[in-house]
Amino acid sequence: MTDTRLDGPSSRTKLRLITDTLLEDIASGKLRTGDRVESERQLLRRFGVSLGTAQRALKELEHRGVLVREHGRGTFVRGVGAQVNARYVRFFDTDGRELAVYWHVLAHRKARPTRRLSLFFRSADPLVCVERQIDVDGRFALFNEFFLSVDNFNAIAGPAGIPDATNLRESLADRLALPTLRVEQFISFERLPARATAALQYPAQQPGFVMELRGLTVGERPLYLQRIYGTAFDKTSLVIGKDDHAGA
């Protein structure tokens, strides 16, 4: 086994080395869905880290939906979600290579009415929020809230809910003949909500990147509103597509 010890870096750097190595093993096919990953003590010996750092690395990947930990059995690869052709929000590295984007559905819930949602949807109809984790090429994670009406959600959701591979925008167009004809986009830097900081393991009440996409359909009717939350990016750029296809 390759010795990947580091001399003197912070525990956060060591944690990142473990998570990045495991993600690279999954992306390359060295580890596949259902495979058991190394135990905490094996990671401790391999990377020369403390037991706490090894535990935090596995916990972080479990939190991101990449791993699943089964009591008494070990930790297994769940996968990195399903890659979606999100053409409206695209990421590139410093060499101009487009980064793969994977979407993992975390949950769906009844949306609490807010002024922002009421002003956009212009209706008192109940809404559903689909929460998703976005993994950008194994480099960093984002958190996504996708709001739509209960009726539209029920029309596109399967018996088990929304699968990872579902492109919600395309589903609305294909199943309900509600194409996204225009998207309003807003970018801000503000305090992230509690659900986002919990999903991203980011300090509460800290500011972060927020991108809001408002999809409108025939007759300028509101169709969906989604918000993408992120922490500070490192050596990557956000590119907003200029074609006519809204993101996932």
What are 224's two structure tokens? 């969906």
Residue 194 Cα to chain centre, angstroms: 15
Q: How many CA atoms lie within 13 A of 70 on its CB side?
A: 9
Residue 121, both tokens: 């949807």
Please, are residues 228 and 144 in contact by the beta-carbon 8 Å criterion? yes
| Inside any domain, residue 6 | no
Domain C-terminal end among 77, 101, 121: 77
Let me know whether 42 and 135 are in one domain.
no
Residue that finishes a domain, picked among 24, 59, 77: 77
**Does any domain span residue 248?**
no
Domain-located, residue 4: no
What CATH number is given to the structural domain containing 15? Answer: 1.10.10.10
What is the pLDDT at residue 17?
Answer: 86
Reported as a single tens digit per residue, the pLDDT across 196-211 is: 999 888 888 788 889 9
On the question of pLDDT at 151 being above 60, the answer is: yes
State which residues form the domain around 37. 11-77
Q: In this structure, are 144 and 183 located in the same domain? A: yes
Q: Are 172 and 224 in contact (CB under 8 A)?
A: yes
pLDDT class of 87 with cuts at 50, 70, 90: low
Residue 166 belongs to some domain of the structure: yes
Tell me which residue has tokens 């001399």: 7
Same domain, 177 and 235: yes
pTM of the model: 0.65
Listed in sequence order, the residues at least 6 apart from 167 whose beta carbon sits closer than 8 Å to its beta carbon are 84, 85, 86, 248
Find the mean pLDDT for residues 161-177.
85
- Of 77, 96, 121, the residue at which a domain comes to its end is 77
User: What pLDDT score does 60 carry?
Assistant: 80
Contacts of 183 (CB under 8 A, 6+ apart): 88, 213, 214, 215, 216, 246
Q: Is residue 5 part of a domain?
A: no
The mean pLDDT of 88-111, rounded to a whole number, is 83
CB of 180 closer than 8 Å to CB of 169: yes
For 160, other C-beta atoms within 10 Å of its C-beta total: 7
Asked if residue 232 and residue 117 are part of one domain, the reply reads yes
Residues 72 and 129 in one domain: no
Same domain for 214 and 185: yes
Q: How many domains does the chain have?
A: 2
